[in-house]
């Protein structure tokens, strides 16, 4: 289960074979602490997450809305490093944690750490790959090459405004899955998703050699149930982070609240 990109893709395909969309919950690492993050990761696995997206906090998270920005600010107070995150993942793997984990972070910290150094240590720790939202296809070649060498998932993002030819190129270069952003703008729970989203996902799946995951704005089980028919995987982030924020003063119930909500989301992925 520790083999990078392949484990991510297989986890999504297996969920699809069971007649479900894969569920990819997101949490911000080190919010409120790395110790609680470890507990939350176990809770997400127990709740049926197929792949987990683990946010690495950054001071200027351009793609994120206020909920995840606030989580990043809380996390940054703990001064976490990429080495801390890799050690956390390695420790989980040693204890038998099976679910594939991809880190979501902005380019600057990876660049400073050294892309090759990161990939080498990620492979050793059992981290499955990375999503770097501010790394466009035109500038991604060095990272894509390194990720391939270390068999890590290099999950690329496509937006509703991406023209079909470019969408095909992004999909060809993506590994693990293609992250299709459901709405233009930043992350955050939304009451309504675009009406043409299903059609756009159909096109993305037609063009993509890897599974297509959809994220941004998805916050409720009924939205998950609707999109399960059109996407291979569904990413839910802000709604989970919001629950964490609401339970900061009552940490005893924090992990259970997240586990219960993600269990509900996973039940909604059945087609």
Which of 31, 45, 53, 232 is an active site residue? 53
Give the number of C-alpha atoms closer than 13 A to the C-alpha of residue 15, restricted to the C-beta side. Answer: 30
How far is the C-alpha of 125 from the C-alpha of 117, rounded, in Å?
12
How many other β-carbons are positioned within 10 Å of the β-carbon of residue 210?
A: 23
50 catalytic? Reply is no
Residue 49's closest CA among 215, 235, 208?
235
Which of 64, 138, 165, 196 is an active site residue? 64
Asked if 113 contacts 19 with a C-beta cutoff of 8 angstroms, the reply is no
Asked if 215 contacts 240 with a C-beta cutoff of 8 angstroms, the reply is no
The token pair that represents 204 in the structure block: 């993305």
10 catalytic? Reply is no
Residues annotated as catalytic are 53, 64
């Amino acid at each position: 289960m520790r083999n990078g990109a392949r484990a991510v893709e297989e986890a999504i395909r297996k969920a699809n074979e069971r007649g479900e969309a894969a569920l990819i919950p997101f949490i911000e690492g080190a919010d409120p602490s790395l110790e609680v993050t470890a507990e939350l990761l176990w809770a997400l696995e127990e709740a049926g997450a197929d792949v987990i997206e683990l946010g690495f906090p950054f001071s200027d998270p351009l793609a994120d809305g206020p909920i995840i920005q606030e989580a990043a600010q809380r996390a940054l107070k703990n001064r976490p490093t990429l080495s801390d995150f890799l050690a956390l993942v390695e420790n989980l793997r040693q204890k038998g944690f099976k679910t594939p984990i991809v880190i979501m972070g902005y380019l600057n910290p990876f660049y400073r750490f050294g892309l090759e150094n990161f990939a080498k240590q990620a492979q050793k720790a059992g981290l499955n790959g990375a999503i770097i939202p501010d790394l466009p296809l035109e500038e991604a070649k060095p990272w894509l090459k390194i990720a391939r060498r270390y068999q890590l998932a290099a999950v690329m993002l496509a937006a509703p405004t991406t023209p079909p030819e470019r969408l095909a190129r992004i999909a060809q270069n993506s590994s693990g899955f293609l992250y299709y952003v459901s709405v233009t703008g930043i992350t955050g729970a939304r009451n309504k998703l675009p009406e043409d989203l299903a059609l756009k996902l159909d096109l993305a799946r037609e063009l993509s050699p890897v599974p297509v995951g959809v994220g941004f704005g998805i916050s409720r089980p009924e939205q998950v149930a609707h999109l399960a028919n059109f996407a291979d995987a569904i990413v839910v982030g802000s709604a989970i982070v919001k629950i964490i924020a609401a339970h900061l003063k009552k940490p005893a119930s924090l992990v259970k609240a997240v586990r219960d909500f993600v269990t509900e989301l996973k039940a909604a992925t059945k087609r």
